[in-house]
Structure 1
Amino acid sequence: MSSESIHPRSTDLVVLSLERWDEVWRRNQHLVSGLLRRDPGLRVLFVEPAVDPLHDLSRRRRPQLPGGLRAGPPVPGVEPGRLWLYEPAKWFPRRLHRRVDRHLAAGTVRAVRRLGFGSPLLWVNDPDGAAVLEATGWPALYDVTDDWLLADRDAAETSRRARAEALLLARARVVVVCSPALARAKGSRREVALVPNAVDVTDYRRPRTRPDDLPEGPCALYVGTAHRDRLDVELCALTAEAIGPRAHLVIVGPVALEPEDVHRLQRAGAVLLGPRPAPEIPAYLQHADVLLVPHVVTPFTDSLDPIKLYEYRAVGRPVVSTPVAGFRDAGDPQVAVAERSDFVAAVLERTAPGWGRASDLPEAEVPSWSDRVEVMAHVLERVAGAAGDQRSGGTQPRSST
């Protein structure tokens, strides 16, 4: 957006993200980097999830200390000093300290003051960010990418998330959702804008050399975070065992599984490569014989718009997916949707000798992140201009009673 396309005071943006800004790029990073390139006057504070040292200790992990406020990493086409990161810490469990979220919100406000942001727009992706909206009244966008009320969480966490979301749906000037299921769920309570995910199509179709760490021979590849909210660990193990004599099941992405799940997959023959930088992902996809989506089918996964849907389709490789949202309605002849009971057989078929890698099918039309950036730029214009652009007092938090 040009500096004239949004009110001059709206060139500062605070993004409360569900994920860190790291080398594994997700929706927020694609959109924010695109907006920074589009508007040379925009500055962004990207607030990462709080680290939890006590929780790390309770799980016998080395505690992670907060990164605090720091300059963001280089982004192609964006001048230094326009992207900032802030990583806070949650020092006490919420059950022991009721004001945890208020303290985290106050930390964000202090970071905004240090940067000299005037009256920023607020982009809330993490529902816990409701505390920042409540404390400041900054003009807000609520970007819903996951329906956490449907996730398998304890009653206390679900109740807390429900209260936060109720506040966001009531007070955010614009609500954006990434999937039709979320549009139906959240749109029953207020108007929402549907902005699905996408992919950098040109980049994903540029030919790459085979990655050195991709096992030799046929590979069935899954790219994404390995987490039980999405990944069917048992189905992955069954698939790895079945194709093991002639192919490898490879998982590329952050591993957020319990140690026993990791050991189960490794015993079955799965190769867990861990996360890889975003620019390297197209090479893994291009050199896979078949791409996998062994996801659980739950109300939570039905709320998603998987980014891998667009990434997989961009490279034109065969896909086998359980009947999850996005893939089951793709209408792409390269995508085979198989019930859980038929999944292994479908993968076996596509890793059989002579099945072939070549395809005579035309390249699918796949939405690009540049298109989504344009839409989000106009959404931010609506956030800035809604209700006569009446602002609270910039970085001054509201008093709470």
Structure 2
Amino acid sequence: MQKFDSIICVGQTTWEGDFQKAVVQLMRELSVRHRVLYVDYQHTAKDLLMGALGRQKGVPVKAMFGLANALTTKDGKDGSAVHVWQPPTMLPINFLPAGIHDRLLTVNAGRLARGLRRVMQQLGFEKPLIINGMHPVLGMALLGKLNEAGTIYYCFDEITISPWMREHGGRYEPNYMRRVDAVITTSEALREAKAQVQPRTFCVKNGVDFPLFSQTRLLAQQHPPTRPTVGYLGTADDRLDIDIVAHCVRTMPDVTFQFIGEIKEPAITARLGQYPNVVFTPPQQPALLPPLLAQLTATMIPFVCNAHTKTIYPLKINEYLAGGLPVVSTPFSNLSDFEGVVPMVATPEAFAAALRHALTDNDPARVQVRIDMARANSWAHRAEEFEVVFGQL
């Protein structure tokens, strides 16, 4: 494995939040064997204004005004630490047409690079490996500006489908992939697609915070669910097959269907909220999820089957399994790793039948198979797979 002095991760995801984030989990694991600096979300002047007025949550107003230290230390894994840096305020440019966007991008990238070089000097990061988390626009603008020893593009979604990134990200991604040393995707479908542009493309699938989610099983044994409940964890948006879920809810009135997370598709609450056996629970901090999952009897991933979902390897599948919970899914993606453990069914009738069976699928041996599968897919193991790619740069 090639030895890098340090790792700097630049992306478009905040370190903190109400859900598990692949890039954050990965950096925590890599910090056990590497010095890691995480560049937090690049908030714009608009974000700062809205945060100062109390109209937008999660904006680090004090740090952006210079009233708090922009460089902090967060817990990694096994006693390690991750340096997290809040960048200076950026110009809001994503909504602009290509010509203006590209000119102002140099301003944003220049501010970011200058501030980042100061932080690198403070921390003694000399020739870092840059891991770009799904932000090819900024990645392209930063190439060669950080004395980097190598650059990896970490691609965990199809950028041309993302509403926020598809216009400029779609323009920048192909050229950026040609310029980086390697691309790492989170699904085989993504790997196949990106390998057409960058032959040095590898697949490292999403993992699970196994120590956290394995607590679900113990909590369920201590306080078993009081009634049959099917759960869905995570953001509910246009990926959800509402027809399948509505059929299950309607034909299984004795079962509670609980959605834990943000509802981004209004049709979900409009169609499902009318049923008394549907419960919506707002997003929760990761540490609060095991007690909620412990009150579930079975879980589901009822995604539609289309070009977008084909590229997804869902975080939630291993989070469910780590707690020993039965999972029923649609065949939206290549999830052959879970064959024999997670039934993949496509029609509303078949999905309801599979859920009905899952509600009683609590044989101890079956439970242990699920837990063992999730343990093998832990973020600790995924970090090791990532490091194998390091050795090939």
Measured against the shorter chain, the TM-score band is: 0.7 to 0.9
Q: Residues of 2 paired with 1:101 and 1:214: CA distance?
A: 54
| Map of 2:107 onto structure 1 | 103
| Map of 1:148 onto structure 2 | 159
Quick check: 1:321–1:327 contact (8 Å CA) kept in 2? no
| Map of 2:332 onto structure 1 | 324
Q: CA deviation at 1:343?
A: 4.9
- Go from structure 1 to structure 2 and tell me whether the alpha carbon gap of 1:319 and 1:238 turns closer, same or farther (over 3 Å shift): same
Q: Deviations over 1:5-28 (max 9, x none)?
A: 624xx3141332445432422211
Moved more, 112-121 or 210-219: 210-219
Q: Any idea what SS the aligned residue of 1:44 has?
A: strand
* 2:349 paired residue among 342, 349, 357: 342
Equivalent residue letter for 1:114: R
| Map of 1:265 onto structure 2 | 272
| Map of 2:67 onto structure 1 | none
* 1:177 paired residue among 185, 207, 210: 185
Q: Residues of 1 paired with 2:354 and 2:268: CA distance?
A: 21
Moved more, 304-313 or 125-134: 125-134
* 1:24 paired residue among 19, 32, 36: 19
- Go from structure 1 to structure 2 and tell me whether the alpha carbon gap of 1:80 and 1:62 turns closer, same or farther (over 3 Å shift): same
Quick check: 1:124–1:141 contact (8 Å CA) kept in 2? yes
Q: CA deviation at 1:321?
A: 1.0
Q: State the identity %.
A: 21
| Map of 1:397 onto structure 2 | none
- Go from structure 1 to structure 2 and tell me whether the alpha carbon gap of 1:215 and 1:380 turns closer, same or farther (over 3 Å shift): same
Q: CA deviation at 1:287?
A: 3.5
Whether 2:132 is the aligned partner of 1:128: answer no
Equivalent residue letter for 2:157: D
* 1:357 paired residue among 362, 365, 377: 362
Moved more, 299-308 or 113-122: 113-122
Whether 2:207 is the aligned partner of 1:198: answer yes
Q: Any idea what SS the aligned residue of 1:82 has?
A: strand
Equivalent residue letter for 2:237: H
Equivalent residue letter for 2:185: V
Alignment of 1:275-294 (within 5 A): 275-294=283-302
Q: CA deviation at 1:351?
A: 7.1
* 2:232 paired residue among 222, 226, 240: 222
| Map of 1:304 onto structure 2 | 312
Equivalent residue letter for 1:188: Q
Unaligned 5+ runs, structure 1 = 384-401
Unaligned 5+ runs, structure 2 = 65-69
Q: Any idea what SS the aligned residue of 2:20 has?
A: coil
Q: Deviations over 1:292-311 (max 9, x none)?
A: 00111111111111122222
Q: Any idea what SS the aligned residue of 2:259 has?
A: strand
Q: CA deviation at 1:318?
A: 1.9
Structure 1 residue ranges, 4+ long, deviating more than 6 angstroms after superposition = 211-215
Q: CA deviation at 1:170?
A: 0.7
* TM-score between the two structures when normalised by the length of structure 2: 0.78
- Go from structure 1 to structure 2 and tell me whether the alpha carbon gap of 1:90 and 1:320 turns closer, same or farther (over 3 Å shift): farther
Q: Residues of 1 paired with 2:204 and 2:132: CA distance?
A: 15
Q: CA deviation at 1:79?
A: 5.3
Q: Residues of 2 paired with 1:252 and 1:213: CA distance?
A: 19
Q: CA deviation at 1:88?
A: 4.8
Quick check: 1:66–1:87 contact (8 Å CA) kept in 2? no
Root-mean-square deviation (CA), in Å?
A: 3.5
- Go from structure 1 to structure 2 and tell me whether the alpha carbon gap of 1:370 and 1:74 turns closer, same or farther (over 3 Å shift): closer
| Map of 2:39 onto structure 1 | 46
Alignment of 1:68-107 (within 5 A): 68=64, 69-78=70-79, 82-86=83-87, 88-95=89-96, 97-98=100-101, 99-107=103-111
